[in-house]
Amino acid sequence: MIYQVYPRSFQDSDGDGIGDLAGIRQRLDHLVALGVDALWLSPIFPSPMADFGYDVAEYRGVEPMFGDLAQFDALLADVHARGLKLMLDFVPNHTSTEHPWFLESRASRDNPKRDWYFWRDPKPAADGTPGPPNNWTSDMGGSAWQFDEATGQYYLHTFLKEQADLNWRNPEVRAAMMDVLRFWFDRGVDGFRIDVLWHCLKSQGLEDNPLNPAYRPGMGEKYLVLQHNSANQREIHELAGAFRSLADSYGDRLLVGEIFLPLEQLMTYYGSAEQPGVHLPFNFQLLETPWKADALAQAIATYEAALPQGGWPNWVMGSHDAPRIAGRLGEAQARNAAMLLLTLRGTPTLYQGDELGIGRVTIPPDRICDPQDLRQPGLGLGRDGARTPMAWDGTAYAGFSTIEPWLPLHADWRVRNVSRQEQEPGSMLGLYRRLLAARREHPALSHGEIVLLPYEPEVLRYERRAAGERLLVALNLSEQERLVDLPPGTSADLLVSTAGSPLFDGRLLPGEGVLLQLKEC
């Protein structure tokens, strides 16, 4: 079970309205009480924060706003002392344009680091005026190329113009970045989440991408083209394999790849028996699948069937990039989402604040920070709503800080906070704790097989089975009461109800999910 910490918004220890490493240290008991196994920290490295840390200006240090290396070591020691693991965010596709490598590369056309990035001459557009070298689009809107007056060439940026893409075909880049991984592994870090892994290699010729026939205005400009040549090149698997070999050389370490691709292509990132890839290519399907029993059952079945031999599944229900699950589905279904996430087969990743059921947070226009939203306003692409501070208690600023935080708190923080929910067994936090405790107690949940049962209208049902144990999950996705059939020849004991029902009598309340222990009778 991985828990994603967004460091800016977890706990502020020095009163600047922004979270930091010392703050995370103060709150580790929350993670122990919750029952997670590992923390993944979004980037903590020195950064101008154009993309809130995903623009790294130095890979082997700590952003002063978050602390320093000594504080990092102290955090790591505390995490390990509690029996937890710590993962960092490795951002290989691009550096900040303030990284010394880029400053050198930009200095002149013949700088030894020129080829560490992608520099190309302008290409004449149809009307003869100079334009970008090809039609690739930035994930943040507009062209992926930025003209640099100093040397009269464009450089490539798949994300913001402040995030220049590294040229991973250059062996010096590769060696330098492998050293970055070694630096943190040597310090004792337990693994990495690898940012946009599928983007790291581009087609050697940098040819135009094909146009996307499904593009419609309002989708965001990154969808104008299909990323055939700018991402997901065959050679990426050799690179993923090299990351994996390095991780394996340190023993028990974990690599999670951030990859947004259709299922069949996603699966290739597990690698092969001869050349394993990352342990877990992130599976984001639950963020996109319609909240319907048939659609979810189909998504689970297709994913399970697509896994390669020995591939361990994983599920993600929220992140700093996605709308809050409780905002999307409402409180009752967010409880079902918790049960689904924690009872499916494989490693779940839980995003901070989802254990409180934080819903949609409206960010006043003058407080919008996310460059995605600022560059393409009005398309609903803003990510600030998922990045608001954790709420710890009912005191000023929810115990997160002593001053107004960098982003506003959710409106109901006075009641929706850790301290309050700890007192209420029926709270979302209580539910997460019970579900995580059940995962530890029942081998069927941690490593048993999954058997999808025919879905009843708006009720998703599946069994988890291990030697001598059968558990049934039934989630009522409707707003009406529903009857649930048990498998023939079984009766059931209730382990967890999302609605706090004391026992199971064959009915599910509107929006209720249950975890049942089956007994043969």
- Active-site residues, by number, are 195, 258
CB 197 to ligand NOJ: min, Å:
10
Q: Which is nearer to ligand NOJ, 160 or 181 (CB)?
A: 160
For position 54 contacting ligand NOJ by CB under 6 A, the verdict is yes
CB 51 to ligand NOJ: min, Å:
5
Q: Which is nearer to ligand NOJ, 47 or 476 (CB)?
A: 47
Q: Which is nearer to ligand NOJ, 116 or 282 (CB)?
A: 282
Q: Which is nearer to ligand NOJ, 258 or 512 (CB)?
A: 258
CB 166 to ligand NOJ: min, Å:
12
Residue 271 DSSP class: B
Residue in the shown chain whose Cβ atom is closest to ligand NOJ: 54
Question: Looking only at residues 468 through 497 of this chain, which bind ligand NOJ when binding is defined by CB under 6 A?
Answer: none
Residues 6+ apart with CB under 8 A from 460: 293, 296, 297, 340, 473, 474, 475, 477
Query: How far is 398 from 289, CA to CA, in rounded Å?
Result: 33
- The count of C-alpha atoms lying within 13 angstroms of the C-alpha of 353, restricted to the half-sphere facing its C-beta, is 32
Q: Where are the alpha helices (DSSP H) in 250-284?
A: 263-267
Contact track, ligand NOJ, 253-272, x by CB under 6 A:
-----x--------------
CB 462 to ligand NOJ: min, Å:
30
Question: Looking only at residues 88 through 107 of this chain, which bind ligand NOJ when binding is defined by CB under 6 A?
Answer: 91
Contact track, ligand NOJ, 17-46, x by CB under 6 A:
------------------------------
User: Is 313 exposed, middle or buried (CB count within 10 Å of its CB: 0-12, 13-18, 19+)?
Assistant: middle
Q: Which is nearer to ligand NOJ, 91 or 363 (CB)?
A: 91
Task: Residue 239: name the closest of 209, 210, 199, 212 by CA.
Answer: 199
Question: Looking only at residues 3 through 22 of this chain, which bind ligand NOJ when binding is defined by CB under 6 A?
Answer: none
For position 384 contacting ligand NOJ by CB under 6 A, the verdict is no
Task: Residue 337: name the closest of 451, 473, 506 by CA.
Answer: 473
Helix, strand, coil % over all residues of the chain, rounded to 5: 30, 20, 50
CB 416 to ligand NOJ: min, Å:
24
Q: Which is nearer to ligand NOJ, 317 or 516 (CB)?
A: 317
For position 321 contacting ligand NOJ by CB under 6 A, the verdict is yes
For position 59 contacting ligand NOJ by CB under 6 A, the verdict is no
Residue 72 has a CB neighbour count (10 Å cut-off) of 22
Query: How far is 55 from 89, CA to CA, in rounded Å?
Result: 12
For position 196 contacting ligand NOJ by CB under 6 A, the verdict is yes
Residue 69 has a CB neighbour count (10 Å cut-off) of 12
- Give the three-class secondary structure for 500: coil
> At residue 117, what are phi and psi to the nearest 5 degrees?
-125, 180
Task: Residue 412: name the closest of 366, 361, 369, 368 by CA.
Answer: 361
For position 159 contacting ligand NOJ by CB under 6 A, the verdict is yes
* Direct distance between the N- and C-terminal alpha carbons of the chain, in angstroms, rounded to an integer: 34
Q: What is the separation of C-alpha 97 from the centre of its chain, rounded to a whole number of angstroms?
A: 24
Query: How far is 514 from 521, CA to CA, in rounded Å?
Result: 20
Query: How far is 69 from 292, CA to CA, in rounded Å?
Result: 46
Question: Looking only at residues 205 through 264 of this chain, which bind ligand NOJ when binding is defined by CB under 6 A?
Answer: 258
CB 258 to ligand NOJ: min, Å:
6
CB 139 to ligand NOJ: min, Å:
7
CB 54 to ligand NOJ: min, Å:
3
Q: Which is nearer to ligand NOJ, 143 or 343 (CB)?
A: 143
Query: How far is 444 from 463, CA to CA, in rounded Å?
Result: 9
Q: Which is nearer to ligand NOJ, 258 or 384 (CB)?
A: 258
Token output for 232: 């997901």
Residue 6 has a CB neighbour count (10 Å cut-off) of 23
* Interacting residues toward ligand NOJ by CB under 6 A: 51, 54, 91, 159, 195-196, 258, 320-321
